[in-house]
Amino acid sequence: MVSESRGLSVENLTVIYEPGAAPAVDAVSLDVVPGQIVALLGASGSGKSSLLRAVAGLVRPSSGAVRWDGADVGGVPVHRRGFGLMFQDGQLFPHRSVAGNIGYALNHLPRARRRARVAELLELVGLEGYGERAVSQISGGQAQRVALARSLAAEPRLLLLDEPLSSLDKALRSRLASDIRAMVTATGTTTVHVTHDQDEAFAVADLVGVMEDGRLVQLDAPAALWSHPADAGVVELLGQGPVLGSEQMEAWFGVTASGEAALAPGSLVAEGPASGSTGLEAEVVASRFARGSTELEVRLPDGRTAEAGADMEHRPGDRVRVSVRPDALVRLGTPSSHHGQ
């Protein structure tokens, strides 16, 4: 009887590039079950790409293990791990056609089967009829689709994507992020997707892992990660605004809060000119019209700034009265079954 696949298991993985240097990856453990898409999100230098490369076999770990279905693959060469790789620039072969790039890993198949498989993949990535085109004649977005199709061609048991969309403009990145999810879901391919863009991570993944200084500090579903970030570092990465303690929340806004909370977009409302006794009197630093409404940047008593919605524009230096919507606050550190170590 064939045993059920257990997927990827990373156990206490550490990567140190030079003796005495801080770990690029610091004792990370991570499980990715078959068919699941996990995004690793973090700032530059957080260790997310080093972790992915160690899983791929491109970087030798200093300690720890990478297992597939329980078997340690540490001694298995990159090309024998059965993992598909795709990087930022796609790395297409310029002398090959679109079909030639996609079929590169299929030379062991009979010609008819190879052509059929390439046709299947062209349809999957929305490029039917592009097979004979030179890769120099397609757009950047199309090139990344070809690179993804090539990565999927050999039906890898694990797909590793390292910043695959970072070279594209924001609008195209957003569209292709949704497309990547649809494509890998359609094939049931277990996937680890590395990115610095939270919107991309949220669009692609079932679970999002946040990397800080080589550590995996949180692993959660996108909605849970947004609503309950593990610490102030996650809040900063997600752009959720300044973090206030319960005493500040009570003193400034008259709101009782247990623990820390972030003033996320939508949690502050400004009314002006400053009047009345409720809320916080604050100085306007900047005013802008965005996403169909007026947003103010206001200065808090400790000198930090926060975003507040308003029903009219204001000039820098104006005084406004700012109140808080408790239901829109982001609470820190709420326990989760997926929190990282």
pLDDT value at residue 169? 79
pLDDT value at residue 77? 94
pLDDT tens-place string over residues 196-218: 999 999 999 999 999 999 999 99
Please report the DSSP string for 215-270 in residue order. Answer: EEEEEE-HHHHHHS-SSHHHHHHHT---EE-HHHHHHHH----SS-EE--TTSEEE
pLDDT tens-place string over residues 272-297: 766 666 789 999 999 988 777 889 99
pLDDT tens-place string over residues 302-315: 999 999 999 888 89
β-bridge mates for residue 157, sequence order: none
pLDDT value at residue 275? 60
pLDDT value at residue 1? 40
CA–CA dist 32, 9 (Å, integer): 7
Structure tokens at 321: 């009265």
Structure tokens at 136: 């120099």
Least confident of 9-23, 68-82, 185-199, 274-288: 274-288
Please report the DSSP string for 309-328 in residue order. Answer: EESS---TT-EEEEEE-GGG
When pLDDT is cut at 50, 70 and 90, the band that residue 167 belongs to is: confident
Fold agreement between 1-82+156-240 and 243-321: no
CA–CA dist 67, 83 (Å, integer): 12
Helix (H, G, I), strand (E, B) or coil at 336: coil
CA–CA dist 270, 278 (Å, integer): 11
Q: Is the pLDDT score of 341 beyond 50?
A: no
Assess if CATH 3.40.50.300 describes domain 1-82+156-240: yes
Q: Is the pLDDT score of 263 beyond 90?
A: yes
Q: Is the pLDDT score of 337 beyond 50?
A: no
When pLDDT is cut at 50, 70 and 90, the band that residue 257 belongs to is: confident
Region 120-145 average pLDDT = 91
Block residue for tokens 């079932």: 206
Single-letter code of the amino acid located at 97: S
Q: Is the pLDDT score of 339 beyond 70?
A: no
CA distances from 64 to 12, 15, 51 (A): 5, 9, 12
Structure tokens at 250: 């009570």
CA–CA dist 277, 274 (Å, integer): 9
Region 23-46 average pLDDT = 96
Count of residues in the chain: 341
Q: How many distinct helices (H) and strands (E) make up the chain?
A: 9, 18
User: Sheet of 330-331: strands edge to edge?
Assistant: 243-244, 261-262, 330-331
Q: Considering the chain, what is the average pLDDT of its residues?
A: 90
Q: Is residue 164 within 8 Å of 180, Cβ to Cβ?
A: yes
pLDDT value at residue 2? 43
pLDDT value at residue 290? 78
Residue boundaries of the structural domains of the chain? 1-82+156-240, 91-155, 243-321
Q: Is the pLDDT score of 321 beyond 80?
A: yes
Region 146-166 average pLDDT = 90
CA–CA dist 108, 135 (Å, integer): 23
CATH of 243-321, one of 2.40.50, 2.20.25, 2.60.40, 2.30.30: 2.40.50
- Return the number of other C-beta atoms located less than 10 Å from residue 17's C-beta: 12
Region 180-205 average pLDDT = 93
Structure tokens at 100: 């030639």
Who wins on pLDDT, 306 or 3?
A: 306
Single-letter code of the amino acid located at 60: R
Q: Is the pLDDT score of 141 beyond 70?
A: yes
Q: Is the pLDDT score of 84 beyond 50?
A: yes
Region 100-122 average pLDDT = 91
CA–CA dist 222, 242 (Å, integer): 20
When pLDDT is cut at 50, 70 and 90, the band that residue 185 belongs to is: very high
pLDDT value at residue 46? 96
Q: Among residues of the chain, what percentage have pLDDT more than 70?
A: 94
What's the distance, Cα to Cα, between the start and end of the chain in Å? 36
Question: Long-range pairs for 223-230 at CB < 8 Å and ≥24 separation?
Answer: 224/336, 224/338, 226/202, 226/330, 227/330, 227/331, 227/334, 228/330, 228/331, 228/332, 228/333, 228/334, 228/336, 229/262, 229/330, 229/332, 229/333, 230/332, 230/333, 230/336, 230/339, 230/340
Q: Is the pLDDT score of 4 beyond 80?
A: no
